[in-house]
Amino acid sequence: MTASIVTVAQSKGGAGKTTVAVQLATAMLAAGHEVCLVDVDPQGSLSRWFEERQRRRDEQDRLSLVKIGGWRLGVELRRIVRDVGVVVIDTPPHANSELKTTIREASLVLVPCQPSPLDVWASRPTLEAAAQEGRPIRLLMNRVPPRGRAIEEAQGALAQLGALPLEASLGNRQAYVAAMARGLGVIEHEPRGTAAQEVLALQAEVTHMIGLPAARVE
Ligand SMILES: Nc1ncnc2c1ncn2[C@@H]1O[C@H](COP(=O)(O)OP(=O)(O)OP(=O)(O)O)[C@@H](O)[C@H]1O
Ligand SMILES: [Mg+2]
């Protein structure tokens, strides 16, 4: 089996990389895919979330996690993609050779970005890295407030950068924080909530973009 790899990257710290990686992975899981999360960030926040999950979930969970770094990364990623349907990679907020490897291997590079011109401008190095490697890339607006000029202003900055946003976006919602604390995605934590609807839309759009075949839900 060949997996699709989604690399979540953004050089700005705290933009929502780990949150987006968790939400996308758990939504792909709910859609019936076998998913492997890859934690490339030495901070290990994603691994910490996974520990919490393992404390609460049964052994049948079709979501796994590997923490990899260093020279083995490329080889390990190519090994993982032979075994699972979807790989979601969480990356650190700084550029290094490991980040480059995860971008090179990606079917899609997803760049979470808060809706302010400063954050959009800060996305430039990540956009350039993906362009250099010739990989498809999309911005994902995160922590979007319910109203106001923030989105309009961010869109102006996006247009200047020539960056494409996904149609899906995530609001600034407590459900994302609460689900994280319990080792869950919002789809599992509050399946009928607004956050879950946002994540389903994200999963559908990403699935379409990377041409992932529909999975069998068992
Ligand atoms: N959509 C959201 N709504 C509410 N809170 C959010 C949302 N997205 C992220 N957060 C919160 O913002 C903070 C930063 O998010 P997160 O850790 O996912 O960012 P990051 O890009 O992975 O950070 P780092 O660069 O340090 O790895 C966390 O406290 C997280 O719970
Ligand atoms: Mg993180």
Please give the domain boundaries of the chain with CATH numbers for all domains: 4-208 (3.40.50.300)
Residues with CB under 5 A from ligand 2 (ion): 17-18, 45
**Cβ–Cβ contacts within 10 Å for residue 72, how many?**
10
Q: Which of 7, 8, 18, 38 to mutate to test the pocket of ligand 1 (most atoms within 8 A of CB)?
A: 18
Protein residue whose Cα sits closest to atom 3 of ligand 1: 172
pTM of the complete model beyond 0.75: yes
User: Cβ(168) to ligand 1 under 6 A?
Assistant: no
pLDDT band, residue 2 (cuts 50/70/90): low
User: Cβ(19) to ligand 1 under 6 A?
Assistant: yes
Mean pLDDT of 119-144: 92
pLDDT band, residue 155 (cuts 50/70/90): confident
Give me the helices (H) in the chain, please: 17-30, 45-56, 73-80, 97-104, 117-122, 124-133, 150-161, 174-181, 186-189, 194-210
Mean pLDDT of 7-21: 96
pLDDT tens digit sequence for 26-54: 999 999 999 999 999 999 999 999 999 99
